[in-house]
Chains A and B, each alone.
Chain A
Amino acid sequence: MSNLKYRVALIVAMLVASVWALFPRTVVERVKRDGVFAFDTVRRVPLKRGLDLQGGMHLALEVDESKQAVTDKSDALDRALKVVRTRIDEFGVSEPVVQKVGNDRIIVELPGIDDPKRAEDVVQKSAFLQFQITDETQALDKALPRLDQIIRERGGVGATVAAGDTTKSTQVAALPNLFATGDSASKGDSSKTDSVTSALNPTTGGPLSKLVQAGQFPGEYMVAEKDVRTVEGYLALPGVQGALPPGKMLRWSGDTLSIGAQIFRPLYVVDARPIITGEYLQNAKPNNTPIEGTVVEFELNNEGGRRFRSETGKHVGDYMAIVLDDKVMGRPPVIQSAIGTRGQITMGGRDLQDAQDLALVLRAGSLPVPLKIAEVRQIGASLGQDSISKGGLAMVIAVGLVIAIMIGYYRFSGMLAVAALVLYVIFTMAILAGFGAVLTLPGLAGLVLTVGIAVDANVLIFERIREELDRGKTVRTSIDEGFKHAWSAILDTSVTTILGGAVLYQYGTGPVKGFAVTLIAGITASLFCAVFVTKTFYLIWLARSKNVQTLSI
């Protein structure tokens, strides 16, 4: 009898603990409203929903080694992780996840994000800021004839190679950075475009000099937007880099200019040595000015300020290009007098949101290594909601079916099993909430499935009890024997399922891990409910009604 008391006490205690674990509680959430962070208190069931249920974005980032090899990837990723985390924290998502997985990947999870493009940019932008003085010596004009000659030679050679080339690499040539590093991947493409153009215009004027026009101030050149790709191709040709003026480099503008009916993209010749880089940056904030439009105002630290002052003092009257990730931002302003710690970047007509994001990435610092996106999963909030309601419906129907079958077939005992099943569902959810597991859509499926499988243990026991009753044993003995004999099969089946779940957990990703967790939690709860809880119910029933002769099973 006291044994029974302990049993009941244990079940009640577990139920209380489970209900407590699942009880809606007040949590503090950080949300961004109108660009300002605010702390919000919400009451909700502490059951985390996966991205596939609440909508959001999952990103996997890897070190991009296409431009240069990185020796200590793990260390580089650790540093990159800090930067990405700072950026994401400021980005304003309620519960972001930023973590390193293995040695070569960063996982970013952004629940409820509605603008995936923006998120990708914020995460991926290198944010490497440089200030470079534009060329005063007309170095490019001097070098142009030589460049034209090289392009003509190379182009003629390249044409035969290009014939067999695929059209696919056009996209590659369009990438901006080729230019500084001379990526070999675009060789085929560029020589092809060249052969086409030279075939069309075999007349005078070098292939390059005919596309490049002088701009409004020294070091500025204009290239028609439609010719940008061709020019990039030329510049990527082998030999061209070597013929460029020494100590100078070419930078494209990040914006286009329309002059008359034509759209031009400025190309700048700048000193290869930056007068200062973003490492001295202390603060950056967006602003809206009446004259320049949207700008990002920045502030340098003392050392940076000192350098900046002395460098700009030397270059009064020159133009200074503000280069972000190898692109010139806005048109280079002229240096009026020595500049101290403060400056601004003109956003060239883009909106405040862009300025905010740029300020954000500048504040967080630049990425130590370029990152590339290895995986993106983005689920719309409506799809997540849809999944929840449909999964819920399937759950209700499955539970209803199981209840009908169990009570219809086993009557009184079936009701005991159903009571145990209700406890089972509560326990499973509580385990998930208690361990902070994430409920995903496959997890929901696992839950529905385990409801079907969970009654298996009860069925095994009941069938066994029936057999014992058939042999003419008393109700009490039959129940005892039934539980005893069914135990080994129940244990074996549970253990094999849990082992399978554990393997799945180890090798699965996000949603599938959720499935594995639900499966394991479900089987554990089912083991307890079917064996311990149902047995207790029987014991209570036996204790209340002495001298029972029949059992409704």
Chain B
Amino acid sequence: MIRIFHNTSFDFIKWWRQAAIATIAFMVLGLASFAWSGGVNYSIEFTGGTLVQLEFTQPPNVAELRSAIDAVAPGSEITQYGTNLEYTVRAREERTEAEATTSATEGVAKSIRGALDAKYTATGYTVKRVESVGPKVGSELRRGAMIAMALVSLVTLLYLAFRFEWRFGAAAVLSTAHDVLVTFAFIKLFQIEVSLVVVGAILTLLGYSGNDTIIIFDRVRENLKKSRKEPLYDTLNRSINETLPRSILTHTTTLGATLALLLFAGEVLRPFAWVMTFGVFVATFSSIYVAGPLLLWIERKFPRAVTDKAHASAAQVKAESKVEGKPERPSRPASRPTQRPATR
């Protein structure tokens, strides 16, 4: 029997402060980037506009290509797409309302084709993909994506509150919020284009990370039932260690799948694959270092048992004198799970 990380007893939670600094630093970096250079890089679907993907038979001179396209669609973004034969041209629609209604949307793709026909002849290139989205559709999709993300968070919260006790649910949802922020920072810092597919990836990531948290919390719940005297801090550490082999194995197989997508599935899926690959690491990190310490913190702010109140608040005072509002090593007596709902 091969065993990895079997019967470990790492004190994971000990490092919560360092972990918090690291993740907050990453988020601040992302936020600073937002402040510095504006929002994320939205795809055509969200901004409205036209995207044309071209494949040339000969590698084109980029400067010539640019000038040819600038003549018909000024301000277009031209980027190499995979090989040096493929390029995408992005013309963002920044027209006034009156002009937009005259359905000039499909006109851009046409005029780009016309300009390229003149420059490279009709046989010198092929149009592999055209996406053209009116501003109204774009804003609708953007709103839909926002609602979807909010709904997923809400639905997860409700389900967790139903299955677990609210403290666990709150910790899990706060850690989900952390995942969203970190992922946006990642998307911003690595300039990943946010399309609907990427929104799908973000939602999947949230689910995946939530799963990881659930599995650890499930173990915590079980361990709390078994040994009621143990401080939550130790229970948490023990649960993380016990589920460690599973975490490592599952993350490895998932990482295998996302890397396969990243390396072999082509350019179209690459942003999706990047976000999911990042997601594997976020899930691992946040379920251990965000959800765990948050649960400890919530438990200390809102101790569960009535009979424990005296001990708990005493311990709380002691703890707060050490560090402001954050969990500390055996800071309070055993949390007695009397109010835990019988979930199964």
**Known contacts A383-B53, A390-B266, A499-B152; A459 and B249 CB within 8 A of each other:** yes
Residues of B close to A116: CB separation below 8 A: 130
Residues of A close to B268: CB separation below 8 A: 52, 387, 441
> Is A6 on the interface with B (CB-CB < 8 A)?
no
Other-chain residue from A387, A406, A444, A463 in contact with B245 (beta carbon distance below 8 A):
A463
> Is B47 on the interface with A (CB-CB < 8 A)?
no
For window 195-233 of A, CB contacts with B under 8 Å fall at: none
For residue A381, which residue of chain B has the nearest CB?
A: B128
Measured between alpha carbons, how far is A493 from B261 in the docked complex, in Å?
Answer: 23
> Is A64 on the interface with B (CB-CB < 8 A)?
yes
Residues of A close to B98: CB separation below 8 A: 66, 172, 185
Known: A489-B215, A492-B159, A507-B148. 10 other contacts (CB 8 A): A175-B102, A379-B128, A401-B256, A402-B256, A442-B200, A445-B272, A449-B276, A503-B151, A506-B151, A512-B199
Are A507 and B132 in contact, with the CB atoms below 8 A? no
Q: Identify which of B210, B264, B272 gathers the most chain A CB atoms within 10 Å of its CB.
A: B264
**Known contacts A116-B130, A379-B129, A455-B250; A442 and B197 CB within 8 A of each other:** yes
Which 8 residue pairs across A and B have the least CB separation, nearest first? Answer: A452-B257, A401-B256, A372-B103, A493-B211, A452-B254, A507-B148, A390-B266, A376-B132
Q: How far is the CB of B269 from chain A (nearest CB, A)?
A: 5
Residues 192-208 of chain B, each 1 if its beta carbon lies under 8 Å from chain A, else 0: 00001101100110111
Could you list 28 examples of A-B contacts with CB < 8 Å? A66-B98, A172-B102, A374-B137, A375-B137, A380-B128, A390-B264, A394-B265, A397-B260, A402-B256, A405-B256, A408-B2, A409-B2, A411-B1, A441-B269, A444-B265, A449-B257, A453-B250, A460-B246, A460-B250, A485-B222, A488-B344, A496-B210, A497-B207, A497-B211, A499-B155, A500-B155, A507-B144, A507-B148
Residues of B close to A66: CB separation below 8 A: 98, 101-102
Are A449 and B204 in contact, with the CB atoms below 8 A? yes
Residues of B close to A492: CB separation below 8 A: 159, 163, 211, 214, 218
Are B264 and A60 in contact, with the CB atoms below 8 A? no
Residues 249-286 of chain B, each 1 if its beta carbon lies under 8 Å from chain A, else 0: 11011111110110111101100110010000000000
For residue A504, which residue of chain B has the nearest CB?
A: B203
Q: How far is the CB of B242 from chain A (nearest CB, A)?
A: 7
Other-chain residue from B219, B253, B276 in contact with A401 (beta carbon distance below 8 A):
B253
**Known contacts A390-B266, A393-B264, A497-B207; A405 and B151 CB within 8 A of each other:** no
For window 388-440 of A, CB contacts with B under 8 Å fall at: 390-391, 393-395, 397-398, 401-402, 405-406, 408-409, 411
Q: How far is the CB of A112 from chain B (nearest CB, A)?
A: 15
Residues 128-149 of chain B, each 1 if its beta carbon lies under 8 Å from chain A, else 0: 1111111011000100110110
For residue B257, which residue of chain A has the nearest CB?
A: A452
Residues of A close to B337: CB separation below 8 A: none
Secondary structure at the A interface, as helix, strand, loop or mixed, is: helix
For residue B195, which residue of chain A has the nearest CB?
A: A512
Residues of A close to B152: CB separation below 8 A: 499-500, 503-504
Residues of B close to A141: CB separation below 8 A: none
> Is B95 on the interface with A (CB-CB < 8 A)?
yes
Q: How far is the CB of B186 from chain A (nearest CB, A)?
A: 18
> Is B32 on the interface with A (CB-CB < 8 A)?
no
Residues of B close to A378: CB separation below 8 A: 127, 129-131
Are B214 and A489 in contact, with the CB atoms below 8 A? yes
Residues of A close to B214: CB separation below 8 A: 489, 492-493, 496
> Is A553 on the interface with B (CB-CB < 8 A)?
yes
Are B260 and A401 in contact, with the CB atoms below 8 A? yes
Measured between alpha carbons, how far is A495 from B160 in the docked complex, in Å?
Answer: 10
> Is B317 on the interface with A (CB-CB < 8 A)?
no
**Known contacts A405-B249, A441-B268, A455-B250; A448 and B260 CB within 8 A of each other:** yes
Are A459 and B250 in contact, with the CB atoms below 8 A? yes
Are A376 and B148 in contact, with the CB atoms below 8 A? no
Are A374 and B134 in contact, with the CB atoms below 8 A? yes
Residues of B close to A448: CB separation below 8 A: 257, 260-261, 265
Are B95 and A168 in contact, with the CB atoms below 8 A? yes
- Stretch of B23-31, B34-42, B106-114, B301-309 that contacts chain A: B106-114
Are B200 and A508 in contact, with the CB atoms below 8 A? yes
For residue B156, which residue of chain A has the nearest CB?
A: A496
Residues 202-231 of chain B, each 1 if its beta carbon lies under 8 Å from chain A, else 0: 011011101100110011001000000000
> Is A509 on the interface with B (CB-CB < 8 A)?
yes
Residues of B close to A495: CB separation below 8 A: 159
Other-chain residue from B53, B99, B105, B156 in contact with A376 (beta carbon distance below 8 A):
B105
Are B130 and A377 in contact, with the CB atoms below 8 A? yes
**Known contacts A168-B95, A374-B105, A500-B152; A383 and B128 CB within 8 A of each other:** yes
**Known contacts A401-B256, A455-B253; A376 and B128 CB within 8 A of each other:** no
Measured between alpha carbons, how far is A399 from B107 in the docked complex, in Å?
Answer: 44
> Is B126 on the interface with A (CB-CB < 8 A)?
yes
Are B260 and A394 in contact, with the CB atoms below 8 A? yes
Q: How far is the CB of B337 from chain A (nearest CB, A)?
A: 16
Measured between alpha carbons, how far is A375 from B163 in the docked complex, in Å?
Answer: 42
> Is B104 on the interface with A (CB-CB < 8 A)?
yes
**Known contacts A373-B105, A405-B253; A449 and B196 CB within 8 A of each other:** no
Are A445 and B133 in contact, with the CB atoms below 8 A? no
> Is A151 on the interface with B (CB-CB < 8 A)?
no
For window 519-553 of A, CB contacts with B under 8 Å fall at: 519, 552-553
Measured between alpha carbons, how far is A467 from B226 in the docked complex, in Å?
Answer: 15
Are B257 and A398 in contact, with the CB atoms below 8 A? yes
Are A171 and B148 in contact, with the CB atoms below 8 A? no
Residues of B close to A507: CB separation below 8 A: 144-145, 147-148, 151
For residue B111, which residue of chain A has the nearest CB?
A: A171
Measured between alpha carbons, how far is A379 from B266 in the docked complex, in Å?
Answer: 15
Are A511 and B246 in contact, with the CB atoms below 8 A? no
Q: How far is the CB of A414 from chain B (nearest CB, A)?
A: 10
Are B127 and A380 in contact, with the CB atoms below 8 A? yes
For residue B248, which residue of chain A has the nearest CB?
A: A459
Are B136 and A376 in contact, with the CB atoms below 8 A? no
Other-chain residue from B128, B211, B242, B273 in contact with A496 (beta carbon distance below 8 A):
B211
Other-chain residue from A444, A453, A488 in contact with B218 (beta carbon distance below 8 A):
A488
Other-chain residue from A168, A373, A501 in contact with B132 (beta carbon distance below 8 A):
A373
Are A391 and B269 in contact, with the CB atoms below 8 A? yes
Measured between alpha carbons, how far is A77 from B58 in the docked complex, in Å?
Answer: 45
Residues 477-504 of chain A, each 1 if its beta carbon lies under 8 Å from chain B, else 0: 0000000010011001101110111011
Q: How far is the CB of A102 from chain B (nearest CB, A)?
A: 9
Are A460 and B204 in contact, with the CB atoms below 8 A? no
Are B101 and A489 in contact, with the CB atoms below 8 A? no
> Is A298 on the interface with B (CB-CB < 8 A)?
no
Residues of B close to A397: CB separation below 8 A: 260, 264
Are A500 and B156 in contact, with the CB atoms below 8 A? yes
Q: How far is the CB of A334 from chain B (nearest CB, A)?
A: 36
Measured between alpha carbons, how far is A394 from B109 in the docked complex, in Å?
Answer: 32
Other-chain residue from B3, B129, B203 in contact with A383 (beta carbon distance below 8 A):
B129
Are B253 and A512 in contact, with the CB atoms below 8 A? no
For window 1-57 of B, CB contacts with A under 8 Å fall at: 1-4, 45, 53
For residue B3, which residue of chain A has the nearest CB?
A: A466
Are B258 and A504 in contact, with the CB atoms below 8 A? no
> Is A43 on the interface with B (CB-CB < 8 A)?
no
Residues of A close to B109: CB separation below 8 A: 376
> Is A516 on the interface with B (CB-CB < 8 A)?
yes
Are A509 and B101 in contact, with the CB atoms below 8 A? no
Residues of A close to B132: CB separation below 8 A: 373, 375-377
Are B99 and A374 in contact, with the CB atoms below 8 A? no
Residues of A close to B249: CB separation below 8 A: 405, 409, 459, 463
Are A503 and B133 in contact, with the CB atoms below 8 A? no
Residues of A close to B103: CB separation below 8 A: 64, 372-373
Q: How far is the CB of A306 from chain B (nearest CB, A)?
A: 39
For residue B344, which residue of chain A has the nearest CB?
A: A488
For residue B158, which residue of chain A has the nearest CB?
A: A499
For residue A117, which residue of chain B has the nearest CB?
A: B110
Residues of B close to A373: CB separation below 8 A: 103, 105-106, 132, 134
Q: How far is the CB of A550 from chain B (nearest CB, A)?
A: 9
Measured between alpha carbons, how far is A463 from B145 in the docked complex, in Å?
Answer: 37
